[in-house]
Chain A
Amino acid sequence: MAVALRQPGWYRGALGALLGAAFGFGLVVALRAISGLDIFQTEQTGYPHVVVPLITTPFGFLFGFGAFDYWFRWAAGKPTIPDDHANHGATRWQDYFKFNTDHKVIGIQYVVTTLIFFLIGGALALLIRAELAQPGTQVVDPNVYNGLFSTHAVVMIFLFIIPMFAGLANYVLPLMIGAPDMAFPRLNALSFWMLPIAGIIFLSSFLAPGGAFDAGWTGYAPLSTGAPLGQSFFNIGVQFAGASSIATALNFLVTIITMRAPGMNLWRMPLLVWANLATSLLVVGATPFVAGAQFMVLFDRVLGMNFFQFLEGGDVLSYQHIFWFYSHPAVYIMILPGFGIVSEIISTHARKPVFGYRLMALALIGIVVLSYSVWAHHMFVAGMFDWLRVPIMITTLLIAVPTGIKIFSWLGTLFYGKIHTYSTAMLFSLGFIVTFTVGGISGVMLGMVPLDIHVSDTYFIVAHIHFVLFGGSVFTIFAGIYHWFPKMTGRMYDEKLGRVHFWGTMVGTWGTFIPQHWIGLDGMPRRVADYANIYGDWNLVISVFAFILGFVQLVFFYNMIVSWRFGPKAGNNPWRANSIEWQVSSPPPVFNFDEIPRVVGGPYEFGTPGARHAIMGGEDEPELPGPKPTKVAEPA
């Protein structure tokens, strides 16, 4: 036992968590004693005795778990073990429960963890739909309902969509650019382990007195500054999730900039790499704003500050400005990696080069730039400056241009292609184009001030967000999982079950969210547990489809679990794709390559006889027209 407590791992992690909690609690008591306050009196919403340990406990766990061991040794000037790769790779299932620094292990850790959160978030959604199936109160009381929809949104956004894309990219991106691992493997592992911590904090808010945080995922002040204790769980959980995604984004950027294989210039990068480059720029630039906003709310709640207290000279509306300056770019953080995934899949299964490859890449960058200038379209009815409305409306409509370029380029790729739909990944990609376009068009409608004023806070908004986030992001997530499942596990999934999953999801999505547009235009308010009787019939229909949508996901989970164990062997390249990750074994060996591949052409040269994207180590140089890749000198 004593030995187990000295080694990094779960025992030492549990001890660290206990010590962290004790430290946080003691800190509050000590500071209150020094400043002459009652030691145990808790303010109405402050609860510093809970909030501070909530911050220190995760750090204690991470210290104990071994997240900082290397850095501590380094900082103290002790010898470090740079080449001890004991924490690299996975040979047993237990290796997935360690502080593992292998990008492929971390990728799978991400995907599995976020899928568990997807199940939890989905169960919360079904509870919401059960309550809304009939007017009146059936399943949960209105207070619990507020907690349900808030937690549903937070779990889906911060713990499923954003980290799922980080996980998929974690697995395939270093392979795609011919790198042995990410640039900072330890930071990568630390980013992953902050994610379940954030999840536990969010979900444990249900146990807090006064119930889970119920101010919506937006947590608007001053609703949030006066809310019960659960709101502080939201404020702190967002810090951990945000720090996790900033660290991952930084890691992606450094990896993409410094670790590409010889010959892979910017215009030979697969679009998934471009998409993650763009997304990471957004995360690094925008996520600190949500951290700032939540810090301010936390300061108001716990330290009694007055950022959002009007009577004390605070500015209520500044919360919304600061929050949306992150959270509008965040919707692009939640869709750009999906654009990358779909580009890969459509090109591969239509056996054609991506139409307008350079414009596709530039459109991503265009979206990044524009997305910083559209935040206030969430605030048209909030009472903000009048002069800001029209400029924001124009930039919002402008952002449809690069998005439209992408949609037309996918259609151009499909046009006269040899479209194979045997793969569920391709079905989801095609489904994505249709569903996302509908969601995008309702987004253009919402960008216009008059219509937005009419439908603000109605189910039209709910329908729009779910069409772009479920029909958009989640469809691309499914596509990505199906596409790279053979690479990650070395086994094929069952395409028949995949088709059942796809058509069930498609019908469920449209059946659930299309009628919400109509009742939204009729004025049904969102975020309320009850509604007028005239909306009853449509809500019953919506709930039925929502349950179909929910239960058809079980087919997906069954398919994934059983195929991972019993599926037929997949081979290296089941989709006959060009990019580098398909040229190595499935699953790829530790450190991916014995010899770094050389890139000799674009990633989508389908249909050109003899064209190659990359030459793997040990192969002869093929005779190719055009300039030879220049050999770059090894660093000394």
Chain B
Amino acid sequence: MESASIAVGQGAAADHHDHHGPPEFHRSARIDQTVLGILLFILSEIMLFAAFFAAYFFLRVVVSPDTWPPAGIELPVLIAGINTVVLVSSSFTIHYALEAIKHNNHPGLKLGLGLTWLLGATFLFIQINEYIHIGFTPRDGAFGSIFFSLTGLHGAHVFVGLLLLTFANIRAWRGHFGPEQKNHLGVEVPGIYWHFVDIMWIVVFVTIYII
């Protein structure tokens, strides 16, 4: 029952014959539906980021090619760099968690998920601190607007990722996941999303802080 319920949208009627559920549909592709769904969702998320990147480059390249960033603004590259390391390492811990559950290693799953959650929360904490001490606001010129919008949009995604990881943690501690794919989609799908959040941060970091 529990394992069946984890596989959302899988037509998991197999062990319930008392209902007239949907007939087993024919699987015309090998990819899992939930995984394909999250990949398509990430595609549209990438396009949302692309809209803001488009705005960024219009502001930077077309409007103010000579004064970018504006005089007097110094971005804390070092702190953001440390933050990048924090977030990137969380990608490895979630991968470890997924590998652990594939080998039915429940303590490893809990360790990996817990570490990932802590690293993500650390990232958000450092970023909020950076916002407080950065010395300019979203209202300070177009640079302030696009800086806070892009990093804030990414921060919102980290927050959503953290929510998903919270759910995964709760379920891991209740012993819900198993080595078969349909039994650990609840780790795999937030994991895919988390990798996307990581990679997107690297793009945001390189664009805003480095180049």
Question: Real complex partners, A and B?
Answer: yes
Chain A residues engaging chain B, CB cutoff 8 angstroms: 74-77, 79-85, 178-181, 183-186, 246, 250-251, 253-254, 257-262, 264, 284-289, 291-293, 295-296, 299-300, 303-307, 309, 312-315, 317-318, 321-322, 325, 590-591, 593-596, 632, 634-635
Chain B residues with CB below 8 A from A317, complex form:
58, 62
Please state if B170 and A75 are interface contacts (CB–CB under 8 Å).
Answer: yes
Chain B residues with CB below 8 A from A303, complex form:
138-139
Please state if A594 and B23 are interface contacts (CB–CB under 8 Å).
Answer: yes
Q: Which residue of B lies closest to A617 (CB)?
A: B23
Cα–Cα distance between A179 and B23 once the two chains are bound (Å): 9
Cα–Cα distance between A259 and B22 once the two chains are bound (Å): 13
Please state if A254 and B36 are interface contacts (CB–CB under 8 Å).
Answer: yes
Please state if A254 and B51 are interface contacts (CB–CB under 8 Å).
Answer: no
Q: A299-B138, A596-B26 are in contact. Are A76 and B170 (CB under 8 A)?
A: yes
Cα–Cα distance between A322 and B49 once the two chains are bound (Å): 12
Q: Does B207 reach chain A (CB closer than 8 Å)?
A: no
B60 to chain A, nearest CB (A): 9
Please state if B9 and A318 are interface contacts (CB–CB under 8 Å).
Answer: no
Please state if A80 and B40 are interface contacts (CB–CB under 8 Å).
Answer: no
B146 to chain A, nearest CB (A): 7
Chain B residues engaging chain A, CB cutoff 8 angstroms: 1-2, 4-6, 8-9, 11-13, 16, 19-29, 31, 33, 36-37, 40-41, 43-45, 47-48, 50-52, 54-55, 58-59, 62-64, 67, 70, 138-139, 141-146, 148-149, 166-167, 170-171, 174, 176
Cα–Cα distance between A185 and B176 once the two chains are bound (Å): 23
Q: Which residue of B lies closest to A591 (CB)?
A: B22
Cα–Cα distance between A306 and B23 once the two chains are bound (Å): 54
B121 to chain A, nearest CB (A): 18
Please state if B47 and A309 are interface contacts (CB–CB under 8 Å).
Answer: no
Chain A residues with CB below 8 A from B16, complex form:
82-83
Please state if B62 and A289 are interface contacts (CB–CB under 8 Å).
Answer: no
Q: A250-B41, A260-B28, A318-B58 are in contact. Are A306 and B139 (CB under 8 A)?
A: yes
A294 to chain B, nearest CB (A): 10
Cα–Cα distance between A306 and B33 once the two chains are bound (Å): 41
The binding surface of chain A is classed by DSSP as: loop
A468 to chain B, nearest CB (A): 25
A241 to chain B, nearest CB (A): 15
Q: Which residue of A lies closest to B166 (CB)?
A: A75
Please state if A318 and B54 are interface contacts (CB–CB under 8 Å).
Answer: yes
Please state if A305 and B11 are interface contacts (CB–CB under 8 Å).
Answer: no
Please state if B59 and A315 are interface contacts (CB–CB under 8 Å).
Answer: yes
Please state if A258 and B142 are interface contacts (CB–CB under 8 Å).
Answer: no
Cα–Cα distance between A506 and B146 once the two chains are bound (Å): 49
Cα–Cα distance between A246 and B40 once the two chains are bound (Å): 10
Cα–Cα distance between A56 and B4 once the two chains are bound (Å): 33
Chain B residues with CB below 8 A from A307, complex form:
55, 59, 142, 145-146, 149
Cα–Cα distance between A321 and B57 once the two chains are bound (Å): 12
Chain B residues with CB below 8 A from A590, complex form:
20
- List, sorted by A's number, 14 A–B pairs whose CB atoms are closer than 8 Å: A74-B6, A85-B21, A259-B25, A291-B48, A291-B51, A292-B54, A305-B145, A306-B142, A307-B59, A307-B142, A307-B149, A322-B51, A325-B51, A596-B23
B2 to chain A, nearest CB (A): 7
Q: Other than the known A85-B21, A288-B50, what 18 A-B pairs have Cβ atoms closer than 8 Å?
A: A76-B170, A85-B19, A180-B11, A184-B8, A254-B33, A254-B40, A257-B31, A259-B27, A259-B28, A284-B43, A289-B48, A296-B52, A299-B138, A307-B55, A314-B63, A318-B62, A325-B51, A590-B20
A157 to chain B, nearest CB (A): 19
Chain A residues with CB below 8 A from B2, complex form:
79
B84 to chain A, nearest CB (A): 24
A258 to chain B, nearest CB (A): 5
Chain B residues with CB below 8 A from A74, complex form:
5-6, 8, 167
Cα–Cα distance between A183 and B51 once the two chains are bound (Å): 29
Please state if A305 and B149 are interface contacts (CB–CB under 8 Å).
Answer: yes
Q: Which residue of B lies closest to A262 (CB)?
A: B26
Q: Which residue of B lies closest to A182 (CB)?
A: B9
- The interface centre, meaning the residue of A81, A260, A292, A304 with most chain B CB atoms within 10 A of its CB, is A292
Please state if B36 and A258 are interface contacts (CB–CB under 8 Å).
Answer: yes
Q: Which residue of B lies closest to A258 (CB)?
A: B29
Please state if B176 and A77 are interface contacts (CB–CB under 8 Å).
Answer: yes
Please state if B44 and A296 are interface contacts (CB–CB under 8 Å).
Answer: no
Chain B residues with CB below 8 A from A83, complex form:
12-13, 16, 19, 21
Chain A residues with CB below 8 A from B9, complex form:
183-186
Cα–Cα distance between A322 and B62 once the two chains are bound (Å): 14
Chain A residues with CB below 8 A from B4, complex form:
82
A254, A305, A321: the one contacting B58 at CB < 8 Å is A321
Chain A residues with CB below 8 A from B36, complex form:
253-254, 257-258
Please state if B149 and A313 are interface contacts (CB–CB under 8 Å).
Answer: no
Q: A292-B48, A299-B138 are in contact. Are A313 and B143 (CB under 8 A)?
A: yes
B29, B45, B55, B138: the one contacting A304 at CB < 8 Å is B138
